[in-house]
Chains A and B, each alone.
Chain A
Amino acid sequence: MTERTISVDYLARVEGEGSLKVRVRDHTLEEVQLKIFEPPRFFEAFLRGRALEEAPDITARICGICPVAYQMSSAHAIERALGVRVDGLLRRLRRLLYLGEWIESHALHIYLLHTPDFLGYPDALRLARDRPQAVQRGLALKRVGNQILEVLGGREIHPVNVRIGGFYRLPTVEEFAPLGPALDRALDLALETVRFVGGFDFPELTEDYEFAALSHPEEYPMTEGDIVTSSGTRLPQERFDEAFEELQVPYTNALHVVRRPTGASYLVGPLARYALNRERLSRRARDVAREVGLADVERNPFRSVVVRAVEVVHAVEEAREILRTYRPEGPAAVPVDRSRLPAVGAAVTEAPRGMLYHAYKLAADGRIEEARIVAPTTQNQRRIEDDIRHVVSRSLDRTDAELQALCERAIRNHDPCISCATHFLKLDVERA
């Protein structure tokens, strides 16, 4: 009897701290454990007692890679509780801020974290020695996303301009002016990116995913829309819990989320959004997707890098469109009416990595009584293990080192954000 254990003690090029253990006995895969050892930070516990106005700034700190996603899901959930509606210019500006984050986060993942896998480098900095143009293209694209965040949000990481009801201040036309030419250039860079990553050599793998994402009749989903799945479920955002269930597993500091009632894994993120909303992408994004041979429903997770690039094309185009007609008219925020308190509210928005659910119970004095947050990576965790199971089962003849590299790639396909995944854990106190 032979036993092989493949272990990766510290996953590189992912956000946060995780490891992987795979056990193979007699040519059969016995166990796959994606372990997240990032220490929990207990956001849901210390949000209790805070003022509802503080939620966007506090929850942003769950993730330095996608703070806007946290600001948007928290603001929408609390606005829904209060019966506040953010429309028109303010709604468009919220999309613009979020588009900035999508561009930044996707460019980061595509070029700095994921591309090195396809071209055989340990990181993008070493890749830059041989292919400086490619890495510079990625950094320039990332820069444009960050510029949007800087002008509209004040800074790239943990922007300061988001509040319940809208923004603190609307930027002037002059402040936005440099973004026009920057976005024109970004569109070229984004199209080049799709063609660049579309030409990679992709390992063969077809996964039978159940996809889950928001879906909106008029726009590529981001801040609004129903929750839909590829098996035909459609629910309003507030009813997230009817379709999905959180489970605690002993070996990881993050919860797993599974489908109700089957207990099956499912996938959120770019592959899911694209499969369920492709026809709402901009025409250019759809055309370039077809040009590089992306299927209408893409089931090879290694090609997620192409889908991310296609989403960047769409994001750049939509950002250009929003800025084209921008005039700072009217108040920066809708007045916040507290007459409905106490109240409950929940919302889902599409973080770069997939659906991000926030739910709040608010007391009569406007304090948060309960908060619940379900991050994209917790939803994908079990699905990532399933991917690894299939990748490993098909490749048992490979050496341990090859298998290890393949497993790491299978994880990076889904851009896991481990800092997000562990914010909410239970408390086990060890007195120092």
Chain B
Amino acid sequence: MPRSPRPKLAVWKFASCDGCQLSVLDLEDDLLALAGAVEIANFREASSAVVDGPYDLSLVEGSVTTEEDARRIREVRAESRILVTIGACATSGGIQALRNFADVKEFARVVYARPEYVRTLATSTAIREHVPVDLELRGCPVNKAQLLEVVSAYLGDRSPNLPTESVCASCKRRGTVCVMVARGTPCLGPVTQSGCGALCPAYDRGCYGCFGPAETPNLPSMVRRLDELGVDAAARVRLFRTFNAGDPLFREAANASAPPAEAR
């Protein structure tokens, strides 16, 4: 049989909820076309059949939280020509990066018996902190249209079209009335990267920053505005420390918001 000319796609999981790799299966209408255009060579959630590496395109979901995973991501990198991280966990450590801000001894003391059975690192870190990454796809979860765009761009040998503007720009385009200006609802839209389609304001709530910071966000101004809207220091810290708590810019904004004792 002639060797398959289709590029080999692999999907890898680290600490995560599985939602971003599920987005591949959520492509539904495009899934079978995708499976025709690439060889799905290693995707354990979808298939028992595994083709050995190297792989042309690897999609990596999840963050690194164990020594074993810190080793495994280096192996994945070594056998991947292009490595794309998918989602907030892989790109900034995810919500589980909240452990990075915990007093770990206190953590261990309050959470129950027999921790000796479980092995884990004190931090949850982004893939880029362990290996070079070719492209990062934001979001908790990723937007499946953006996911498809990344794979299509790869197949077409072009750069993917992934906007780095803020959620505000998407809101304007969508014609959504600004929830912060019109109703004083705290909203991270001005400092958050678009990609979700400005979903939260369209559902009458403020953006909670699940795509992480936009390019060159004005964070001091954002923090000041939240303060003016009556969001107290502790609540501001929580806003920046949720799904992208480990992102350097959001970390800085949380520190700028925090009373001195809580800053890290």
Question: Count of A-B contacts with CB under 8 A?
Answer: 209
Q: Which of A124-132, A206-214, A235-243, A317-325 contacts B (4 or more CB under 8 A)?
A: A124-132
Of B15, B19, B25, which is within 8 A of A158 by CB?
A: B19
Cα distance A253–B114 when bound, in Å?
A: 12
Cα distance A431–B108 when bound, in Å?
A: 14
Check B67 against A432 for contact (C-beta < 8 Å). Answer: yes
CB of B129 to closest CB in A, whole Å: 11
B91 at the interface (CB under 8 A from A): no
- Most chain B C-beta atoms within 10 Å of own C-beta, residue among A136, A156, A431: A156
Question: How many residues belonging to A are interface residues under a CB distance threshold of 8 Å?
Answer: 73
Q: Which of A42-50, A91-99, A259-267, A282-290 contacts B (4 or more CB under 8 A)?
A: A42-50
Scan A146-164; emit 1 where CB is below 8 A from any B CB, else 0: 1000000011111011010
Q: Which of A7-15, A79-87, A178-186, A298-306 contacts B (4 or more CB under 8 A)?
A: A7-15
Question: How many residues belonging to B are interface residues under a CB distance threshold of 8 Å?
Answer: 71
CB of B212 to closest CB in A, whole Å: 15
Check A146 against B26 for contact (C-beta < 8 Å). Answer: yes
Check A430 against B67 for contact (C-beta < 8 Å). Answer: yes
9 A-B pairs within 8 Å (CB atoms) are namely A13-B47, A14-B45, A15-B22, A58-B95, A58-B242, A126-B49, A156-B26, A167-B203, A168-B205
**Closest B residue by C-beta to A16:** B18
Contact of A158 with B141 at beta-carbon distance under 8 Å, contacts A124-B46, A135-B32 already known: yes
**Closest A residue by C-beta to B112:** A426
Please indicate the chain A residues that have their CB under 8 angstroms from the CB of B113 in the complex: 248, 426
CB of B63 to closest CB in A, whole Å: 9
**Which A residues fall within an 8 A CB radius of B?**
10-17, 38-46, 48, 50-51, 54, 57-58, 61-65, 67, 108, 112-113, 116, 122-126, 128, 132, 135-136, 139-140, 142-143, 146, 154-158, 160-161, 163, 167-169, 248-250, 253, 332, 408, 419, 425-432
Check A46 against B115 for contact (C-beta < 8 Å). Answer: no
Please indicate the chain A residues that have their CB under 8 angstroms from the CB of B99 in the complex: 42, 45-46
Check A168 against B242 for contact (C-beta < 8 Å). Answer: no
B48 at the interface (CB under 8 A from A): yes
Check A63 against B18 for contact (C-beta < 8 Å). Answer: yes
Check B118 against A112 for contact (C-beta < 8 Å). Answer: no
Cα distance A69–B215 when bound, in Å?
A: 34
Of A67, A125, A139, A426, which is within 8 A of B47 by CB?
A: A125
Cα distance A45–B95 when bound, in Å?
A: 12
**Closest A residue by C-beta to B235:** A51
